[in-house]
């Protein structure tokens, strides 16, 4: 199948261009640093300076959960950036350089090229997310004996967020030069993140107008909604209870989510990704080369 | 006077032709917002022919080839390649194409590029090794087969492109400026490859602005300018015969020159006399008379236009006005 041929080619390109090697080295560096940090956490004293004592298990778990969410935020941000960097040139640069002129006259559909590249790049992103996040979970388990409530689901949502960015970027890449495409998508990604925070503040203060901004942005680009789903699956019950008790003052905290995503929203997100891919295939098919 | 026939009957369709041509187009046009890249291409290329597609830069040659392989969609008109509508996906299995401005993945080796195209062209896996080996040998890259394409010169990349176009023994090979980056040896090699393809019965569509290249290998030629075919025919038809004679004669006195003037208008080109307007059956009489007058006749040959002369004549005379998409020219048309 041509889709698999293109996907394999994309993976091989990632490998040949030393992307996989660079990512592997950086993952190891982050893992080593975070392992050191979590190990040090165990040795830090709790209580006042004049009467230090070891931290309780529950305190350590809350700290670990918070740090883990921050680490996951870093990974999700890196993944979103990576998705934009990988997706933006995927079609645009190959059209500009003439690589597509040699490939497309073969008996393949243009949608094969779009889907194959999407599949290959999604695999790269999923591998990175799975290995780096999984490694962090293992480190926290060993260092603090803490496992977040739904680690696999959290990774799935972080990967889904990156794939949403990738799908939108690939749609842009069928028509817009790579640099402009990457910048546009990253600005939209940032705006959606802020929209999500605004929505949470609006909900806390019962401002439907502000809340609707968050709802609209999470529907137009479901990256923040998926990121919030990942956070929710990383939060232990104690964090949800503590976070919920803070009240309106805590509503602007982008690393706390009081409730999980609805099934309707998840279906919307899946449909949204499928729609972006279909539009990308259609747009590329209609393009004169 | 030799009439150069241009275009085909508008009513003809691919199905109605006695044998399916390799390429058949009817008023195929491509317009961008304010630019007409191809104004209405009507032509037929029979199978097994080496067909030259000549024209100045910007004439619409590459647009035509891209339309034929489905890289761009026509604004109007119709076209068939190997009997199927242009752009048909499965028909592309039977086509080899060398684009004009292209690049292969510079992180792949030449062998890997060929393997990729074997896979994309759906060539049975058991034939890959043979196909790749043969392609590398034909284009002279066997010794660089495992080097990265990124280390190749432009000429070597063009050789590789030609090798890719030959994979799977296609019935139709479209070559868009195949020698633009090649040295004289490379150009000679390409001409040999084209001749070899012709021997195998492969149709070759050669898009070029290099007249000598076209002159040496093509059976028929279409000249395109401003998006339209302005002439189409065999090389002889295009070049035409001027009803002129070139003679290299020594020992001609005034009487001899006067004799020449009786047969036609005489020009002198170095050692050669050119007699224009002479009928072919008068040539033996002229030669006999020259010998009788003591002239030493070293050479007698019909005077022909070069393709370059004719090409420039056509382009100079083409004002762009056409009748229903057809333009008729004859060799004796004033330039």
Do both B95 and B158 map to the same domain? Answer: yes
The 3-state secondary structure of B298-332 reads: EEEEEEECCHHHHHHHHHHHCCCCCECCECCEECC
Do both B170 and B66 map to the same domain? Answer: yes
A105 → closest Cβ in B92, B119, B122: B92
pLDDT digits (tens, 9 = 90+) for B33-67: 888 899 989 999 999 999 999 988 888 899 999 99
A17–B122 C-beta distance less than 8 A:
no
Q: CA quadruple A19, A25, A26, A31: dihedral positive or negative?
A: positive
Residues of B with CB under 8 A from a CB of A: 66, 69-73, 89-93, 95, 97, 99, 101-105, 107-108, 116-117, 119-122, 161, 164
Closest CA to A107 of A5, A8, A7: A5
pLDDT (0 to 100) of residue A67: 87
At B48, phi and psi to the nearest 5? Answer: 85, 0
On chain A, the residues whose CB falls within 8 A of the CB of B122 are 107
Do both B74 and B205 map to the same domain? Answer: yes
A5 → closest Cβ in B90, B101, B120: B120
On chain B, the residues whose CB falls within 8 A of the CB of A103 are 120
- Please check whether residue A257 is in contact with residue A235, taking contact to mean a CB–CB distance below 8 angstroms: yes
- Please check whether residue B209 is in contact with residue B56, taking contact to mean a CB–CB distance below 8 angstroms: yes
Q: CA quadruple A230, A236, A240, A243: dihedral positive or negative?
A: negative
Chain B closest-CA separation from residue A179 CA (Å): 20
Closest CA to A277 of A165, A162, A115: A115
What is the Cα–Cα distance from B72 to B28, expressed in whole angstroms? 12
B335: in domain: no
Read off the pLDDT band of A126 (50, 70, 90). very high
On chain B, the residues whose CB falls within 8 A of the CB of A17 are 107
- Please check whether residue A69 is in contact with residue A234, taking contact to mean a CB–CB distance below 8 angstroms: yes
Closest CA to B96 of B163, B193, B174: B174
Largest CA distance in chain A: 77
ipTM attached to this prediction: 0.85
B321: in domain: no
pLDDT digits (tens, 9 = 90+) for B164-194: 999 999 999 999 998 888 888 888 888 999 9
pLDDT digits (tens, 9 = 90+) for A207-227: 888 888 888 998 999 999 999
- Please check whether residue A269 is in contact with residue A164, taking contact to mean a CB–CB distance below 8 angstroms: yes
Domain count along chain B: 2
Token pair 């019965």 is at which residue? B201
B317: in domain: no
Separation of CA B329 from chain center: 18
Do both B212 and B262 map to the same domain? Answer: no
B319: in domain: no
Chain B closest-CA separation from residue A288 CA (Å): 4
pLDDT (0 to 100) of residue A92: 95
- Please check whether residue B100 is in contact with residue B56, taking contact to mean a CB–CB distance below 8 angstroms: no
Secondary-structure percent of chain B, ordered helix, strand, coil, rounded to 5: 35, 30, 35
DSSP reduced 3-state for B10: coil
Q: pTM of the predicted model, to two decimals?
A: 0.83
Q: Which one of B238, B257, B286 terminates a domain?
A: B238
- Other C-beta atoms closer than 10 Å to the C-beta of B197 total 24
pLDDT exceeds cutoff 50 at A13? yes
Do both B194 and B69 map to the same domain? Answer: yes
Q: Is A100 left (phi over 0), alpha (psi -120 to 50) or beta?
A: alpha
B103 → closest Cβ in A13, A99, A109: A99
B10: in domain: yes
Residues in CB range of A29: below 8 A, 6 or more apart: none
* pLDDT < 70 regions, chain B: 1-18, 240-242, 317-335
Do both B252 and B109 map to the same domain? Answer: no
B315: in domain: no
* DSSP-derived secondary structure letter, B109: B
What CATH number is attached to the domain comprising B125? Answer: 3.40.50.300
Do both B163 and B51 map to the same domain? Answer: yes
Largest CA distance in chain B: 77
Question: How far is CA B240 from each of CA B114, B236, B269, rounded to the nearest angstrom?
Answer: 43, 6, 20
pLDDT digits (tens, 9 = 90+) for A227-266: 999 999 998 877 776 666 666 666 667 788 878 899 999 9
Do both B158 and B271 map to the same domain? Answer: no
B324: in domain: no
Do both B91 and B154 map to the same domain? Answer: yes
DSSP reduced 3-state for A109: coil
On chain B, the residues whose CB falls within 8 A of the CB of A16 are 107-108
On chain B, the residues whose CB falls within 8 A of the CB of A104 are 70-71
Do both B81 and B188 map to the same domain? Answer: yes
Please report, in angstroms and rounded to a whole number, the separation of the first and last CA atoms in chain A. 23
pLDDT exceeds cutoff 90 at A144? no
* DSSP-derived secondary structure letter, A56: P
Do both B216 and B228 map to the same domain? Answer: yes
A97–B105 C-beta distance less than 8 A:
no
What CATH number is attached to the domain comprising B255? Answer: 3.30.70.100
Question: How far is CA B13 from each of CA B8, B85, B292, rounded to the nearest angstrom?
Answer: 10, 11, 59
Vertex A90: Cα angle to A282 and A129 (nearest 5): 110
- Please check whether residue B133 is in contact with residue B141, taking contact to mean a CB–CB distance below 8 angstroms: no
What is the Cα–Cα distance from B228 to B225, expressed in whole angstroms? 5
Interface probe with A: pick from B112, B119, B176, most Cβ of A within 10 Å: B119
Identify the domain containing residue B195 by its residue range.
3-238
CB burial of residue A188 (10 Å; 0-12, 13-18, 19+): buried
pLDDT digits (tens, 9 = 90+) for A77-99: 999 999 999 999 999 999 999 99
Do both B183 and B292 map to the same domain? Answer: no
- Between chain A and chain B, how many beta carbons pairs sit less than 8 Å apart? 63
Chain A closest-CA separation from residue B245 CA (Å): 49
B116: in domain: yes
| Strands B50-54, B203-208: pairing kind | parallel
B120 → closest Cβ in A2, A16, A98: A2
pLDDT (0 to 100) of residue A250: 63
B95–A108 C-beta distance less than 8 A:
no
């Amino acid at each position: 199948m041509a889709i698999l041929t293109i996907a394999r080619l994309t993976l091989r390109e990632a490998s040949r261009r030393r992307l996989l090697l660079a990512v592997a080295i950086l993952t190891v560096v982050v893992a080593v640093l975070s392992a050191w940090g979590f190990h040090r956490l165990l040795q830090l004293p709790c209580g006042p300076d004049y009467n230090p004592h070891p931290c309780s298990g529950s305190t350590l778990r809350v700290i670990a959960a918070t740090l883990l969410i921050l680490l996951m935020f870093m990974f999700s941000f890196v993944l979103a950036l990576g998705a934009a960097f990988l997706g933006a040139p995927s079609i645009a640069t190959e059209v500009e350089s003439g690589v597509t002129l040699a490939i497309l006259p073969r008996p393949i559909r243009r949608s094969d090229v779009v889907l194959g590249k999407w599949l290959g790049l999604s695999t790269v992103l999923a591998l990175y997310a799975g290995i780096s996040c999984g490694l962090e979970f293992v480190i926290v388990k060993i260092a603090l004996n803490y496992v977040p409530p739904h680690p696999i689901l959290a990774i799935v949502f972080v990967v889904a967020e990156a794939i949403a960015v990738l799908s939108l970027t690939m749609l842009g890449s069928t028509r817009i030069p790579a640099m402009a495409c990457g910048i546009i998508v990253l600005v939209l990604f940032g705006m959606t993140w802020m929209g999500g925070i605004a929505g949470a503040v609006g909900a806390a203060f019962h401002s439907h107008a502000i809340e609707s901004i968050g709802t609209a942005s999470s529907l137009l680009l479901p990256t923040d909604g998926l990121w919030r789903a990942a956070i929710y699956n990383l939060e232990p019950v104690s964090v949800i209870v503590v976070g919920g008790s803070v009240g309106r003052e805590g509503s602007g905290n982008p690393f706390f989510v009081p409730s999980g995503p609805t099934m309707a929203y998840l279906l919307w997100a899946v449909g949204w990704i499928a729609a972006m891919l279909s539009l990308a295939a259609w747009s590329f098919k209609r393009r004169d080369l | 006077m030799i009439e150069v026939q241009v275009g085909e009957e508008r009513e003809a369709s691919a199905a109605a032709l006695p044998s399916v041509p390799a390429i058949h187009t009817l008023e195929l046009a491509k317009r961008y917002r304010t630019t007409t890249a191809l104004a209405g291409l009507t032509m037929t290329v029979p199978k097994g022919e080496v067909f030259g597609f000549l024209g100045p830069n910007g004439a619409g040659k590459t647009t035509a080839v891209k339309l034929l392989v489905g890289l761009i969609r026509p604004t109007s008109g119709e076209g068939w390649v190997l009997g199927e509508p242009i752009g048909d996906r499965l028909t592309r299995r039977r086509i080899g194409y060398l684009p004009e401005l292209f690049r292969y993945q510079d992180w792949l080796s030449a062998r890997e590029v060929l393997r990729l195209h074997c896979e994309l062209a759906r060539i049975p896996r058991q034939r890959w090794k043979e196909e790749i080996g043969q392609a590398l040998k034909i284009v002279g890259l066997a010794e660089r087969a495992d080097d990265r394409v990124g280390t190749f010169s432009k000429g070597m990349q063009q050789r590789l492109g030609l090798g890719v176009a030959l994979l799977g023994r296609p019935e139709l090979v479209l070559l868009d400026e195949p020698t633009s980056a090649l040295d004289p040896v490379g150009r000679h090699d390409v001409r040999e490859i084209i001749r070899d393809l012709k021997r195998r019965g492969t149709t070759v569509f050669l898009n070029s602005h290099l007249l000598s290249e076209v002159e040496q290998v093509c059976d028929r030629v279409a000249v395109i300018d401003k998006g339209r075919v302005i002439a189409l025919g065999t090389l002889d038809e295009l070049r035409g015969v001027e009803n002129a004679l070139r003679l290299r004669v020594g020992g001609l006195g005034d009487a001899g020159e006067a004799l020449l003037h009786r047969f036609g208008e005489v020009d002198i080109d170095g050692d050669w006399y050119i007699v224009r307007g002479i009928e072919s059956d008068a040539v033996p009489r002229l030669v006999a008379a020259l010998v009788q007058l003591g002239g030493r006749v070293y050479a007698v040959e019909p005077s022909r236009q070069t393709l370059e002369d004719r090409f420039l004549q056509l382009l100079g005379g083409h004002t762009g006005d056409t009748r229903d998409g057809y333009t008729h020219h004859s060799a004796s048309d004033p330039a």
